[in-house]
Amino acid sequence: MWNRVVLLCAGVATGWTAVNILTCPRPLVRGQRVRLAISVSLAAATIVWLSLDSPAPALLGLGVYLLAAVPAFVANAQQASTSKPDPGPPPPLSSAAPDAHTENKGNHILLISPGPPPQYSGPAGWAYRLMHTDNAPTTLPRRIVFPWTLAHVRQAYDAMPNGHPSTRCCSHVARRLSCRSPENNPRCVYLQGSPHLRQELRSLRQKPPTPLTLILLDAPGSGSEDRVREIITSSRLRETIPDLRLVHCPPRDVDNVSDLAPLLQGSPAPMPDHEQLSAYADAVLASLETR
Closest listed residue to residue 255, CA positions, set 267, 265, 266, 270: 270
Tell me the C-alpha distance between 187 and 195, whole Å: 10
Closest listed residue to residue 210, CA positions, set 290, 287, 109: 109
Tens digit of pLDDT at every position of the chain (291 positions): 678 899 999 999 999 999 999 999 999 999 999 999 999 999 999 999 988 878 898 899 899 999 999 999 999 999 999 888 887 776 665 544 444 444 555 678 899 988 788 899 899 889 988 887 788 898 999 999 999 999 999 999 999 988 888 888 888 888 888 887 777 788 899 988 888 998 888 888 877 777 888 888 877 767 788 888 889 888 888 888 877 888 887 665 434 444 688 898 898 888 777 787 888 788 777 777 665
Looking at residue 50, what is its pLDDT? 87
Cβ contact 193:118 at 8 Å: yes
Q: What angle do CA 21, 27, 33 make, to 5 degrees?
A: 35
Cβ contact 64:4 at 8 Å: yes
Neighbouring-strand partners of residue 112: 189, 216
Domains along the sequence of the chain with CATH: 2-80 (no CATH), 107-289 (3.40.50)
Closest listed residue to residue 263, CA positions, set 156, 185, 147, 191: 156
Looking at residue 64, what is its pLDDT? 93
Looking at residue 258, what is its pLDDT? 45
Cβ contact 222:114 at 8 Å: yes
The answer, yes or no, to whether the previous bond of 25 is cis (omega within 30 of 0) is: no
Neighbouring-strand partners of residue 245: 213
Three-class SS string for the chain? CHHHHHHHHHHHHHHHHHHHHHHCCHHHHHHHHHHHHHHHHHHHHHHHHHHCCCHHHHHHHHHHHHHHHHHHHHHHHHHHCCCCCCCCCCCCCCCCCCCCCCCCCCEEEEEEECCCCCCCCCCCCHHHHCCCCCCCCCCHHHHHHHHHHHHHHHHHHHCCCCCCHHHHHHHHHHHHHHHHCCCEEEEEEECCCCCEHHHHHHHHCCCCCCCEEEEECCCCCCHHHHHHHHHHHHHCHHHCCCCEEEEECCCCHHHCHHHHHHHHCCCCCCCCCHHHHHHHHHHHHHHHHCC
Looking at residue 106, what is its pLDDT? 66
Neighbouring-strand partners of residue 189: 112
Q: Sheet containing 184-190: which strands, arranged edge to edge?
A: 184-190, 107-113, 212-216, 244-248
